[in-house]
Amino acid sequence: MAKNNSNIKRVVVTGMGVVTAIGTGLEEFWANLSAGKSGVSLIDTFDTSKHGSKIAAQIKDFDPADFMDFKAAKRMDRFAQFGVAATALALKDSGLKIDSTNENYTGVFIGSGIGGLLTLEAQHQVLMERGADRVSPFLIPMIICNMAAAQASIFSGAKGPVSTATTACAAGSNSIGDAYEVIKRGSAKVMISGGAEAAITPLGMAGFSNMNAMSTRNDAPQKASRPFDRDRDGFVMGEGAGVIILEELEYAISRGAKIYAEIFGYGMTGEAFHMTALEESGVNVVRCIKNCLNEGGVSVDEIDYLNAHGTSTPLNDIVESAAVATCFGDHIRKLNVSSTKSMHGHCLGAAGAIEAAATIMAIKNDLIPPTINLDNPDEKCGPLNFTPNKVLKKTVNFAVSNSMGFGGHNVTVGFKKFEG
């Protein structure tokens, strides 16, 4: 059973904001996730004639002016705009007001794997075509990865710890886990945490596509992201942001906050193996999950749901599946696993945060979101229950979310139903 150590500060989730291809705002996101709706389509913002992969989970109806000052938005790259928008949504959802009474112990950790790629490409074109003197003076503060966190801090008025994880596709999860540890040790009472990314650009798509990492199922975009399916052929790029508000339990109770869930653990391991690939035994992923569970004193038999990294790439899905099977043993007969990337795409540095929101909503609603497009389960991914194609009603008391990033960054974050 889970431990209850009264000497350790408890950390709870009090608000969430998401900006994704399947919905902006928690309600729309969760409704479409539960319905198994795909957000993938043909890219329509630039010429993809020379790109192998011509599809992505694009956000098509985003207007930054709905969330922030228009002039401020003009000085932000799209990824930072997403981060500020998700922050605005999360703060509204939490009912938290940041003012002189709490600004110094409210912090911001928002990660990003790539940062302002859209601005970088546009300004490089200006340099090549119009000369160095025409490059924007805002180039540098628009492209650096910390600007989603920095702009969210400026927007919200949070003056506590502010930082950015850049651990590739694990950045969102690292940011949540790091924020959890900051509150646990007493360095903040509230943390705005998550990830933001906007890499659906000509260069971003070309780079990943030429690695043969992306799906080329261009004739059927909504069927292209198919984690754990034997016909998968790569991941589908997504974009967006996820932000969750973490609070010290006593502070959350003192202000009458609603509580979605409690965070119980945070695991990290390194692969020390390859720039882009996981070590095939999965032993380092197993250690990561166990580190998370051990921190919270939670046994493998207590976990009801695992939100997988599940990228829809051939090797990653096999290694992660093997690791989950090894870690959970006989409990895999009762464990539900799913990859929501099948719907919102792989949002890189924002992925872990968006998937954390999905995991928390699974706990809140006692519903397991499906892995869509799982028509022919790959035998190499083993006997796991990947919750194919349809949402499942099931009591979810404990859940974990996995993330893995290029360079060998493994992260697991654990959540549980809140009990006062």
Catalytic residues: 169, 309, 346
The pair of three-digit structure tokens given for residue 281, joined into one six-digit string: 């035994």
How many CB atoms within 10 Å of residue 6?
6
The pair of three-digit structure tokens given for residue 356, joined into one six-digit string: 């954390």
Containing H/E element for 353? helix 351-365
**Per DSSP, which regions of 146-216 are E strands?**
162-163, 190-197
Rounded CA gap, 207 and 236, in Å? 13
User: Which one, of 380, 224, 377, 363, lies nearest residue 316 by Cα?
Assistant: 380
Rounded CA gap, 187 and 183, in Å? 6
Rounded CA gap, 277 and 299, in Å? 29
Rounded CA gap, 411 and 270, in Å? 9
Rounded CA gap, 383 and 160, in Å? 45
Strands 367-368, 55-56: pairing kind: unpaired
Rounded CA gap, 291 and 285, in Å? 10
Q: What residues are paired with 346 via a beta bridge?
A: 237
The pair of three-digit structure tokens given for residue 348, joined into one six-digit string: 């890189």
- Using DSSP, state whether 324 is helix, strand or coil: helix
113 exposure class (CB count in 10 Å sphere: 0-12, 13-18, 19+): buried
Q: What Cα–Cα distance (Å) separates residue 282 from each residue in 275, 277, 278, 289, 336?
A: 16, 11, 7, 11, 19
User: Which one, of 344, 112, 118, 387, lies nearest residue 235 by Cα?
Assistant: 344
- Relative orientation angle of helices 117-130 and 202-210, to the nearest 10 degrees: 110
